[in-house]
Amino acid sequence: MMRGDVTPQVAISWLVLLVVLSTGCAGWRKHLQPASLTSNREERAAEAVRAFEEHRDGAQLEAALDRFQQGDTQGAETRLAAIVARRPEHFDARLRLAELLWSRGDPSAEGHLRAVLQAQPNRAEGHHALGLILDATGRGDEAGQHFTQAAALEPDNEVYRLTCESLARR
């Protein structure tokens, strides 16, 4: 064989090498790794994303509460609304947003509280806040049910107990 002659085996070897080099190792990774290994990596990646989101949302909730403490209700509302828009199931942010909305008379607060209580029916704070809204809007019977529920869920909470008793005296 002369120097310029190439056998079919050598040509195929060069072609395979060219394909491997042009596609990189990532193209072959799925063929070389067992499915369970890939699945574990995907689960770990998903868990890392969840942990990041929880940390971010917690930090944003703290920032919103800090804004509120500083008297910046608009800044607090903006941050809380952003959390709720991104993660409607973030019930701490939703509860705080409802309280803030109601403090300025926004009726959409009720919907947020009902969403919290639908997902977390044993959340005394949500029952008490919804009871306050219902009472202020002339729905005393329903308010009384929520005040009673809040007091029953947290019998040592004096505010819930006194609110329930004051409604009963009317």
Does position 29 have pLDDT exceeding 60, yes or no? no
pTM exceeds 0.75: no
| Residue-level pLDDT at 18 | 61
Q: Taking a C-beta distance cutoff of 8 angstroms, is the pair 121, 99 a contact? A: no
- For position 4, what pLDDT does the model report? 60
> How far is C-alpha 149 from the geometric centre of its chain's CA atoms?
26
106: left (phi over 0), alpha (psi -120 to 50) or beta: beta
Least confident of 53-57, 103-107, 134-138: 53-57
20: left (phi over 0), alpha (psi -120 to 50) or beta: alpha
CA nearest neighbour of 84 among 51, 68, 108:
108
